[in-house]
Amino acid sequence: MERLLRVKWLRWSLFAIAATLVGTVSFATVYAATYSGWFTGYAMGNRLGYSGVEVQQGHFANHLPAYCPGDPAAYWAWGTRISTPWIGMISGEGWPYARNTFRLYDAGDTSCSQGNYWVDIYFGRYRYPGQSCYCPGVPSPGYCYNANTNSCDQATTFGRSWKTYSGP
Amino acid sequence: MRNKHIPLVMTMIALIVFLAMAGRAFALAQRKADGNQAREPRLPQAQKARPVTLLQAWEMLNAHAQKWQSGAKAVWLVSVDHPDDPPSVGQDGRRRAWQAVTLSDKMPNTELWVTLVDGLIAEESKVEGSAFDGNTPSAVSEAASLQGHLPMDSPQALKHALAAKPELGPDNGRGRGFHFTLESSPPSGAPVITVRGVYNDMPAIVSLDAATSTLVAARSLGFGSGGILYSYDLGKTWHASNLTGRMVNAIIADPLAENQAYAVTTEDERIVVYQTQDGGRNWAFGGSLPEAAGDWPFDLEAAIEPSGSVRLLVGTASGLWSSTNGRDWSVLAGLPDGPKQWLAAIHAPTSRRVLVSITAGANRGLYASTNLVDWTELTKDVLRLSKSFDRRTVLATNEQSASSALLLSVDDEIKTEEIGPVLRAAGDFTDPNSTVLQSPLSGTAPWRGQMPVWTLDVPVASLAAAPDFPASHLVVAGGFRSGIYRSNDAGQTWEQVLVDPSSVVQGSGEVFDVAFLSSDTLIAVNGGELIWRDF
């Protein structure tokens, strides 16, 4: 082996093969595609999302394959991560911050009215003490906590936005 | 092999591997360029399957948390699907993929999300500046209490859950098999293990106290509200019909009789048909589809038979169902398999044509028939179908691409150029000056055969034009959590006529269907809310 490595051509060939294999492995594990769709915002509502886990800031909903079989994103698994442009949110303590990753743990728009790759991002379940625990578009009565912000206001202000994002 | 040949052979191997890599890179670049065409979710294709229990995953993730920050702890753990999971997965309490949120006292505003696949960390990401809700002021101290109180693992949790609720079954949709979550339960903060599956084909959970194994909650998801609103005054004011408290999936006006219409609902795992004869105020049971039809109607259509009667059509995942009386239903043969999601019937004085959009699978595309026996594939594109005010033409549009809109009549189809991607349309499609479009990109506006000025910039879920549209120019838009709007100038200006449909009929606020039953009478659907209930 030592004698073989002394051959200049052979050294370069082995290096090329090794580098190529490393490159191939990297390609296999870093996989993402970009999508575009409407983003809407929601807050309060059910404590549990469609997946059965408690929805939190940083979670999102999209279509379900049973209701929207034509939407390729409807087949993504629970827990799927998407990367988005920075989206401002307010924590329960009242601090503004921004997120650019969201996880799939809820579903909605059962009529598929918002088109493929629709995303509904969750702004939390916060209200100021004494305010209504209601936010349009989510089951009533909602489920929420007293906090230093009202996340329904944030969802309403976010409204609707066409975004390009990356996912599986 | 002689030594002098070795460099040549090695170089050739390197070249072959390089070409393979270049090909893969090219395919990846193509896929990225196609973007929205990509469909399969991918977790990293890990080595040999190595499913682990909840406690094993918990220990692995907490060990990993220590590498991030000494003293950090996983505060929330949930199993997720792996692409290779069979529907039976989780029946032994083990899963291949788990996801956790990790917090540290030293970095109180940072969440570390970690995905574990086959016992290895597959992916992690940090969110800075936030605080995981965790339901408690101090999720980290909550995690400390979780650490000390986990006598039960997922196999035992599943056994206890099935003993308490034998009806709980494995899911076969999004979320295959049985899933497991470990979290703290509000308001006590006690650690709870939740088993997820299905009950009556809908998502269901059984939560157990992790320390005592006692049942904390058993809930399943179902539609709990929704229904039909009606207006007798051109859409200016809206009222509740008697068809409420249920998920109405679609409505259709009777093409032969003013103020008559049909609706399909999802009830008790069946598809049920209702009929109104008074402009949508009162609805009566009309019949139900066989169990084989399933419980989810995508769309409803009413076609005029050559005999002069009405044939109802319901599109489902199981087929295109047909009935001439609402009571007796059968599947129409001749259409290939696949979900029949969008339907439209268009009419000429002595003939009709039915269009069906199959939206997924090998047979996806647009199909047409004039006799409901022989079907022709018009295109392999998945197109949404919008009917003109007079039901004489359909604008079949691609919601993602501008390339393939079709204007269809009973005996003709014309490719329409430069219309852009369109979700839905209303008006007179033979005249661009009288067509209102909803772009998936921009909003709702008159088309006018040129770059539109978007006049309604709110999320819209439905559009309908009045039967006297050429004279009245009346269009109504059902909003997606944004109310109901009307325009009496063919979409140039809009007036919000109802701010909150749920103030009339409780529902999701997603008004995804609107229909004119006469020139002044309309009905609209407020979607159903998905609500968790005890079972």
Q: Are residues B382 and B430 in the same domain?
A: yes
- A85: Cβ contacts below 8 Å, ≥ 6 apart: A100, A163, A164, A165
**Among the partner residues A14, A80, A97, nearest to B129 by beta-carbon distance:** A97
Q: Are residues B452 and B488 in the same domain?
A: yes
What is the interface pTM, i.e. ipTM, of the complex?
0.86
CB spacing of B532 vs A46 below 8 angstroms:
yes
Task: Give the mean model confidence (pLDDT) for residues B281-300.
Answer: 97
How far apart are alpha carbons B151 and B144 in whole angstroms? 14
Q: Give the per-residue pLDDT at B36.
A: 39
Q: Are residues A54 and A69 in the same domain?
A: yes
How many Cβ atoms from other residues are within 10 Å of residue B503's Cβ?
12
How far apart are alpha carbons B314 and B272 in whole angstroms? 11
Judged against a pLDDT cut of 90, whether residue B480 lies above it is answered with yes
Q: Are residues B218 and B247 in the same domain?
A: no
In a domain, B186, yes or no: yes
Q: Are residues B118 and B232 in the same domain?
A: no
Q: Are residues B338 and B472 in the same domain?
A: yes
Task: Give the mean model confidence (pLDDT) for residues B123-132.
Answer: 74
Q: How many residues comprise chain A?
A: 168
Q: Across-strand partners of B83?
A: none
In a domain, B2, yes or no: no
CB spacing of A54 vs B135 below 8 angstroms:
yes
In a domain, B445, yes or no: yes
CB spacing of B532 vs A48 below 8 angstroms:
yes
Mean pLDDT of chain B: 87
How far apart are alpha carbons A109 and B275 in whole angstroms? 25
SS in 3 state form for A70-103?
A: CCHHHHCCCCCEEEEEEEEEECCCCCEEEEEEEE
In a domain, B13, yes or no: no
How far apart are alpha carbons A147 and A125 in whole angstroms? 9
Q: Give the per-residue pLDDT at B142.
A: 54
Comparing C-alpha atoms, which of A47, A160, A136 is closest to residue B438? A160
Residue B444 and residue B454 in contact, taking contact as beta carbons nearer than 8 Å? yes
Tens digit of pLDDT per residue, chain A (168 long)? 444 444 444 455 544 444 444 333 333 334 579 999 999 999 998 889 999 998 989 999 999 999 999 999 999 999 999 999 999 999 888 889 899 999 999 999 999 999 999 999 999 999 999 999 988 888 888 888 999 999 999 999 998 888 999 999
Q: Are residues B267 and B345 in the same domain?
A: yes
CB spacing of B36 vs A91 below 8 angstroms:
no
Q: Are residues B368 and B458 in the same domain?
A: yes
Measured over the CA atoms of residue B84, residue B88, residue B94 and residue B95, the dihedral's sign is positive
Judged against a pLDDT cut of 70, whether residue B309 lies above it is answered with yes
Q: Give the per-residue pLDDT at B450.
A: 64
Q: Give the per-residue pLDDT at B138.
A: 42
**Among the partner residues A29, A35, A110, nearest to B36 by beta-carbon distance:** A35
Judged against a pLDDT cut of 80, whether residue B377 lies above it is answered with yes
pLDDT band per the 50, 70, 90 thresholds, residue B428: very high
Q: Are residues B262 and B192 in the same domain?
A: no
Task: Give the mean model confidence (pLDDT) for residues B333-343.
Answer: 97
Comparing C-alpha atoms, which of A88, A72, A60 is closest to residue B41? A72
Q: Are residues A65 and A23 in the same domain?
A: no
End-to-end CA distance of chain A: 43
CB-based contact, A5 to chain B, within 8 Å: no
How many angstroms separate the CA of residue A130 from the nearest CA in chain B? 19
**Whole domain around residue A79: which residue ranges?**
34-167
Any alpha helices (H) in B88-241, and if so which ranges?
A: 139-148, 154-164
CB-based contact, A141 to chain B, within 8 Å: no
SS3 content of chain B, % helix, strand, coil (to 5): 15, 40, 45
- A151: Cβ contacts below 8 Å, ≥ 6 apart: A43, A44, A57, A90, A123, A124, A125, A126, A127, A135, A144
Residues of A in contact with B443 (CB under 8 A): none
How many angstroms separate the CA of residue B272 from the nearest CA in chain A? 17
Q: Are residues A23 and A39 in the same domain?
A: no
Q: Are residues A23 and A73 in the same domain?
A: no
More confident residue, B312 or B175: B312
Count of A-B CB contacts under 8 Å: 244
Q: Give the per-residue pLDDT at A20.
A: 42
Residues of B in contact with A114 (CB under 8 A): 459, 461, 480
Interface-testing mutation among A15, A111, A118, with chain B (most B C-beta atoms within 10 A) = A111
How far apart are alpha carbons B434 and B158 in whole angstroms? 60
Q: Are residues A3 and A53 in the same domain?
A: no
Q: Give the per-residue pLDDT at B116.
A: 95
CB spacing of B133 vs A33 below 8 angstroms:
no
Tally the domains of chain B. 2
Q: Are residues A61 and A6 in the same domain?
A: no
pLDDT band per the 50, 70, 90 thresholds, residue B130: low
More confident residue, B129 or B358: B358
Residue of A nearest to B423 (CA): A115
Task: Give the mean model confidence (pLDDT) for residues B455-461.
Answer: 90
Q: Are residues B139 and B241 in the same domain?
A: no
Q: pLDDT for B193-216, tens place per residue?
A: 999 999 998 999 999 998 889 999
How far apart are alpha carbons B133 and A59 in whole angstroms? 11
Residues of A in contact with B510 (CB under 8 A): 109, 111, 113, 137
CB spacing of B317 vs A52 below 8 angstroms:
no
**Which structure tokens are listed for B262?**
């049909």
How far apart are alpha carbons A30 and A103 in whole angstroms? 18
Domain termination residue (choose one: B188, B222, B256): B222
Residue B277 and residue B266 in contact, taking contact as beta carbons nearer than 8 Å? no
Residues of B in contact with A109 (CB under 8 A): 480, 510
Judged against a pLDDT cut of 70, whether residue B402 lies above it is answered with yes
How far apart are alpha carbons B341 and B319 in whole angstroms? 10
- B137: Cβ contacts below 8 Å, ≥ 6 apart: none
Q: Are residues A112 and A139 in the same domain?
A: yes
Residue type, B80: V
In a domain, B32, yes or no: no
Residues of B in contact with A58 (CB under 8 A): 111, 127, 130
Q: Are residues A77 and A108 in the same domain?
A: yes
Domain termination residue (choose one: B197, B222, B247): B222
In a domain, B167, yes or no: yes
How far apart are alpha carbons A141 and B110 in whole angstroms? 31
CB-based contact, A166 to chain B, within 8 Å: no
Q: pLDDT for B226-263, tens place per residue?
A: 999 999 999 999 999 999 999 999 999 999 999 999 99
Measured over the CA atoms of residue B331, residue B337, residue B343 and residue B347, the dihedral's sign is negative
Q: Are residues B358 and B496 in the same domain?
A: yes
Q: How many residues comprise chain B?
A: 535
Q: Are residues A46 and A21 in the same domain?
A: no
Q: Are residues B335 and B208 in the same domain?
A: no
Tally the domains of chain A. 2
In a domain, B3, yes or no: no
Residues of A in contact with B477 (CB under 8 A): none
Comparing C-alpha atoms, which of B268, B322, B326 is closest to residue B296? B268
Task: Give the mean model confidence (pLDDT) for residues B410-434.
Answer: 87
Measured over the CA atoms of residue A101, residue A142, residue A161 and residue B509, the dihedral's sign is positive
Q: pLDDT for B60-78, tens place per residue?
A: 999 999 998 888 888 889 9
CB-based contact, B196 to chain A, within 8 Å: yes
Q: How far is CA B292 from CA A117, B249, B271, B338, in A?
A: 30, 18, 10, 15
Domain termination residue (choose one: B222, B237, B261): B222
Residues of B in contact with A98 (CB under 8 A): 129
Residue A132 and residue B500 in contact, taking contact as beta carbons nearer than 8 Å? no
Q: Are residues A38 and A121 in the same domain?
A: yes
DSSP string, A119-132: EEEE--SEE-TTS-
Q: Are residues B204 and B266 in the same domain?
A: no
In a domain, B22, yes or no: no
Judged against a pLDDT cut of 80, whether residue B135 lies above it is answered with no
Residue B367 belongs to domain with CATH number = 2.130.10.10
**Whole domain around residue B526: which residue ranges?**
224-534
Q: Are residues A23 and A42 in the same domain?
A: no
CB-based contact, A89 to chain B, within 8 Å: yes
Q: Are residues A81 and A15 in the same domain?
A: no
CB spacing of B35 vs A92 below 8 angstroms:
no
